[in-house]
Structures are given as C-alpha cells and as structure tokens.
Chain A
Amino acid sequence: MHIAPLLAALILLLVVGELVRRRRLREEFSWMWILAAGGALVLSLSARSRELLGKLLGTGDDTHTSVIAVALLFLAGICLDLSSKVSRLAGGQKTIAQDLSRLRKEVRDLRRDEEAS
C-alpha cells in the first residue's frame, strides 16, 4: 500500500464532493472525477493493479509507474479546475438564455402592441 497515492485519491474524492456541494462542479462532470479518484484509490491499495498498469503502460516497474501517476495527477488537477470553470460558465449561460427568452417575449409583445395601436 502506498500512502501518498492513497492520500491523493482520498483528497481528490473530498475535493470533488465539496465542489459539487458548493455548486462549483456540476453533477454531470462529477462522475468522471469520482471514477478517477476511485481508480487512484484502487491503484494505491493494490500492488497487483499497479503491476498491471505498469505492464499496460510499458513502464515495467513501480517507480516509473509512480512518476507517470504523479504526472497524471497533475493533469487531473488542471482538468478538475477547468471542469469547475466550465460549470461556472454553464451557470452564466443558463441565466443569459433565460433572460434572452424573456427579452424576446417583451420585444414580441411590444411589436404586437405597436401594430395593434
């Protein structure tokens, strides 16, 4: 069992949960992150799974696999940040779309009133 990856996986799970709770990460993105954190958890707990991953990646030993895992974790952090930003932008997009629909209706009603008068 490797402590550092175990901690990283647990922290990732907590961060994802907290981001969803604070509405900073939409649920539709969260399942990927929970899967990723679950995968990291399995890798940290099981030497067999690390060996298998090492074979799949062609790295051969645990050390190289760990280096790759750290690099992937770093990339995962960047992607999580981007997911959070996309969630925020999606919220803004929803508000704009809702406002647009109401403005369209007002313009339509005003035109109708103008034509009627």
Chain B
Amino acid sequence: MTQARRTERLDQGAPEPREGGHLRLLQSRAPRVLILIPCLNEGPRIGALLREVHKLHPGTDILVVDDGSQDDSVQRARAAGAEVLQLPFHLGYGAALQTGYRYALDGGYDVVVQMDGDGQHPADEIATLLGALQQSGCDLVIGSRFLGRRCYRIPGLRRLGISLFSKLVSCLAGRQITDPTSGFQAMNRRMLSFYQQDFYPYDYPDADLLLRVHYEGLSFQEQAVEMLAGPPGKSMHSGLSPIYYVYKLLLSLGLTWLSGSLRRSPLP
C-alpha cells in the first residue's frame, strides 16, 4: 500500500455543523484525516502514544515525521503501525511539521491534526479538535491549555514567556489568543496550502505565525483542551535556546506586524 487510503468521519460525536463552503465539501464525502506527529528522540514514549491514538481512532492514518532521531523512535513508530517519514538530519520542529503538511496535501487529505510525540497532547482530545474544526468552519483550531477552567502547571519562567507572547500577539492581532505556543492543532487544506510555503519557520512556528495567519485573513479559533506535563528534562527550550527563542519571536512579531498585509502570500 503506497499511500494509505483509510478515512475517518469527522461527525462521530460532533455537533451539527454550520453552513459554509468548506463544510459542505466535508459533508459531501467522508473527509480524509491525517494525524501528524513530529518526533525527535521519543523512543520511550512514541509507541504508547501511537497505540493510544490507534485505539481511539482506528482506521485513521497516522504519520510520524522523524526529525533526525538518534534513538529507536523510527523503529518503534513503524512497529506501532504508523507511516514514517524520516528526515535525513535534524531540521527543526517547524520543518518537520511542514514535511507532514506537504505529505498531506499531496496525499489528498482534507484535515490534519498535529500533536507532539512526547505524550503532552492526550489522544482523547483529538476528537475535541476535530469537532471544533467542523463546528466552527474555521481553517485552524488551536488547542489551548489556558482556556476555560483547565489548569495546566508549567514552570514560572516559561509561563511568563507564554503570557508575554500571548498578550503581545493578542494586542497586535486585536483579538484574544491565550495559548500562541500550542502545537496541538487541527487544520483544513486551505491552511495546509498556506503553511507549505517557504516562509514557514524551521524552528518555532509560534505566535508570529498566528499573527501572519491573522493578517492573511485565514480564520482560526482556540479550543479548550487538557494537556499533560511533558517528560522531565525533555524540552525544545534548553541551554541558550530560550534566549534565542525570545529574540527570534520578538523580531519576527515586529517584522510581521510592520509588514502587515503588504506582502500577502497568494493562496492557491
């Protein structure tokens, strides 16, 4: 089987959708859903996560994009029944995600749900995101740890950073965005087409990207989801990278805001 052709209906347990061109398309046939999991040295965790996703969403295609792991993540992912794209070397979290977006576009998928491979994003919240994507008719739904009465414990400095960028991007976009750094998202093909372009960051697709999405006129909303604490000592932000992260996001946010909607990337 060169490319899996299994599908999952979005309407399992989801509320009735509103009117809209995209939704009419989804209703006319069973949309093809791809669960996308970027992975870097997740050997101890990836197998259990994939089995959980398979259990809750049997028949749904799962793609693991391995970003140059040094451990046995690839073998474990294949053993757990996932399709695997193996990058030849470490490119970055954003580049790994974009590899999956391009795969989904070429493979004819209608919807992609992306989640982290470290178990931080519970598999039982996938349905929540899919339901919200269908109900809202938005191009992108972002799982938020901080919406509603959810409580999620994160270290003080990181919470400060998320809070700072949340306030900044909310101010620049003129709407509230509570969790701009969340990687737990569901999106349609329109968003995939936008994200597959060259501007997509290699490393941190965060608040600056949401601002760009906003300026492009693509619709997005946040959806309250539960998230778990990541495994100890396993974070993208270690060593000097938090300093670069803050610098990069501030620079990128500033330039995106300055550019505004001057250089709109054409949507297909």
A residues apposed to B, CB below 8 Å: 17, 20-21, 23, 26-28, 30-31, 34, 90-91, 94, 97-98, 100-102, 104-106, 109-110, 113
Contact = CB atoms under 8 A, between A and B. Distances in A.
Contacts of B201: 27
Given A94-B202, A104-B86, A105-B85, A31 B102 contact: no
Given A27-B248, A31-B244, A101 B255 contact: no
B255 A21 contact: yes
Interface of B: 1-3, 65, 83-89, 91, 95, 98-99, 102-103, 106, 198-199, 201-203, 244, 247-248, 251-252, 255, 258-259
Contacts of A101: 65, 85-88, 99
The majority secondary structure among interface residues of chain B is mixed
A11 B85 CA distance: 43
B154 to A, nearest CB: 24
Contacts of A91: 198
A21 B208 CA distance: 12
Contacts of B202: 26, 90, 94
B132 to A, nearest CB: 29
Nearest to B63: A105
A105 B83 contact: yes
A27 B252 contact: yes
Given A21-B255, A113-B2, 9 more contacts: A28-B248, A34-B251, A97-B87, A97-B88, A97-B95, A98-B95, A104-B85, A105-B86, A110-B2
B103 A102 contact: yes
Given A30-B251, A97-B89, A102-B103, A109 B199 contact: no
Contacts of A102: 85, 99, 102-103, 106
Top 6 nearest A-B pairs (CB, nearest first) are A101-B85, A98-B99, A27-B248, A21-B255, A109-B2, A101-B87
Contacts of B98: 98
B239 to A, nearest CB: 14
Contacts of B258: 21
Contact of A98 (B83, B102, B252): B102
Contacts of B2: 106, 109-110, 113
